[in-house]
């Protein structure tokens, strides 16, 4: 018979285990949409800034935030890198650039769809730019949008190899039956962006040391999440998305516990700061949740860069009278930043008189022209059924 002493120890052990299970099974904390007020966001930034005062302390915090994103997104450890099995086809030549339709497999059987814009008549090796997109829906949404085509073509005409790729359930992914409301959307999209860098770096004419990424709205979220977790990104331009009070309204942005756990709180301004000291431009407007960027988010991010002595590497272009989106003016803010930091060649594109980048050579294509698969190039039989759970 065990004596009372041992019974007591065993009871304490069992109770402790049960409490640990309780903690494990407690619901995750999600910070979604307008999770907090603008005033609460300012207070949160003050609390977060008080946790570090020098570079080693920031690096320690940055590592913890990065780890929390990966754990929350179910990407820790990172999945095995399986063969991408890329399909690149149907090259169309235009003035100064070409477009091809591409697909690759971030995971076996799970396809990513995109278009590859390449410079014509410029010697390599070329820098590469990833262009994720936001939540503009419809048969011409996502990567098929005209404003997305303008920016990809114009970057290519200045010497970049540009990959424009669908979110899950948009564009060609939607066409093949995938729903954006997939419970793994955040995981799948972040992993697709990581594998998109692998795909670009596998090209012999791409300089793998010059990798840019830019997107707007939900594509802005993908931009700063990718930059936060993958140090191969060397320059980033998140557009109208970095906000300390708004966390993204879609599950693919904030439907997993990447922002807050019982031990660490963060927000998208701090996640953007994880880019430091790599060059980063925040583009913001008065007409959405980035309206406070010049006085709230940008100073927070800039302070982190100053710890590296690299304050000049981060910038903010703010349009107080403009609305949400990646329209002409916002693209005009992005181009010179990419030109400078990716060493693009703006000759023949930048007009010295108007001080604008010419986009008029862009040929806007139809969805059918941009798709990878058609009657003569059928959808692979090995592809996962739409809306399957994807094994990692």
Residues that bind Zn ion (CB under 5 A): 250, 252
Beta carbon of residue 294, minimum distance to Zn ion (angstroms, whole number): 27
d(CA 220, CA 323): 15
Beta carbon of residue 324, minimum distance to Zn ion (angstroms, whole number): 15
Angle, helices 146-157 vs 328-342, to 10°: value is 30
What is the DSSP code (8-state) at residue 137? -
Beta-bridge partners for 194: none
Beta carbon of residue 132, minimum distance to Zn ion (angstroms, whole number): 11
d(CA 291, CA 321): 10
Beta-bridge partners for 390: none
Closer CB to Zn ion, 161 or 250, in the complex: 250
Preceding peptide of 277 cis, ω within 30°:
yes
Reference 335, options 348, 319, 349, 323; nearest CA is 349
Structure tokens belonging to residue 253: 């942005």
Beta carbon of residue 228, minimum distance to Zn ion (angstroms, whole number): 18
d(CA 129, CA 132): 10
Residue 35 CB coordination number (10 Å): 18
Residue 204 CB coordination number (10 Å): 6
Beta carbon of residue 253, minimum distance to Zn ion (angstroms, whole number): 6
Beta carbon of residue 252, minimum distance to Zn ion (angstroms, whole number): 3
Closer CB to Zn ion, 175 or 319, in the complex: 175
What is the DSSP code (8-state) at residue 263? S
DSSP 149-175: HHHHHHHHHTT-EEEEEPPTTSHHHHH
Beta carbon of residue 389, minimum distance to Zn ion (angstroms, whole number): 18
Q: Are 281 and 334 in contact (CB under 8 A)?
A: yes
Beta carbon of residue 256, minimum distance to Zn ion (angstroms, whole number): 12
Q: How far is CA 17 from the centre of its chain?
A: 39
DSSP 185-210: HHHHHHHHHHHHHHHHHTSTTEEEEE
d(CA 158, CA 154): 7
Closer CB to Zn ion, 250 or 282, in the complex: 250
Closer CB to Zn ion, 103 or 250, in the complex: 250
Closer CB to Zn ion, 168 or 276, in the complex: 168
Beta carbon of residue 3, minimum distance to Zn ion (angstroms, whole number): 60
């Amino acid at each position: 018979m065990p004596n009372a002493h041992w019974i007591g120890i065993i009871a304490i052990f069992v109770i402790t285990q049960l409490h640990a299970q309780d903690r494990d099974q407690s619901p995750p904390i999600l910070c979604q949409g307008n999770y907090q007020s603008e005033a609460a966001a300012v207070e949160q930034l003050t609390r977060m800034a008080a946790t570090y005062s020098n570079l080693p302390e920031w690096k320690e915090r940055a590592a913890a935030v990065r780890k929390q994103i990966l754990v929350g997104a179910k990407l820790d450890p990172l999945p095995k890198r399986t063969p991408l099995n890329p399909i690149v086809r149907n090259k169309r030549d235009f003035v100064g650039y070409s477009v091809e339709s591409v697909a690759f497999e971030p995971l076996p059987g799970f396809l990513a769809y995109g278009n590859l814009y390449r410079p014509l008549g410029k010697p390599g090796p070329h820098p590469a730019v990833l262009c994720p997109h936001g939540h503009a829906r419809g048969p011409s949404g996502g990567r098929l949008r005209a404003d997305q085509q303008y920016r990809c073509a114009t970057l290519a005409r200045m010497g970049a190899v540009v990959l424009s790729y669908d979110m899950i359930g948009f564009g060609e992914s939607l066409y093949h039956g995938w729903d954006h409301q997939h419970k793994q959307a955040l995981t799948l999209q972040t992993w697709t962006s990581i594998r998109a860098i692998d795909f670009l770096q596998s090209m012999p004419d791409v300089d793998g040391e010059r990798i840019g990424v830019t997107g707007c709205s939900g594509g802005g979220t993908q931009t700063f999440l990718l930059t936060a977790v993958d140090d191969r990104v060397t320059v980033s331009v998140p557009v109208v998305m970095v906000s300390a009070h708004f966390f993204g309204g879609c599950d693919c942005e904030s439907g997993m516990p990447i922002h807050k756990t019982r031990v660490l709180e963060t927000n998208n301004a701090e996640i953007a700061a994880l880019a430091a000291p790599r060059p980063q431009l925040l583009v913001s407007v008065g007409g959405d949740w980035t309206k406070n960027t010049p006085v709230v988010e940008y100073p927070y991010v800039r302070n982190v860069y100053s710890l590296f002595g690299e304050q000049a590497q981060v910038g903010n272009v703010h349009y107080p009278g403009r609305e949400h989106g990646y329209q002409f003016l916002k693209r005009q803010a992005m181009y010179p930043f990419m030109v400078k930091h990716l060493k693009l060649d703006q000759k023949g594109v930048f007009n010295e008189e108007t001080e604008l980048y010419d986009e008029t050579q862009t040929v806007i294509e139809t969805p059918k022209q941009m798709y990878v698969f058609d009657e003569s190039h059928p959808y692979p039989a090995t592809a996962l059924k739409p809306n399957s759970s994807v094994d990692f």
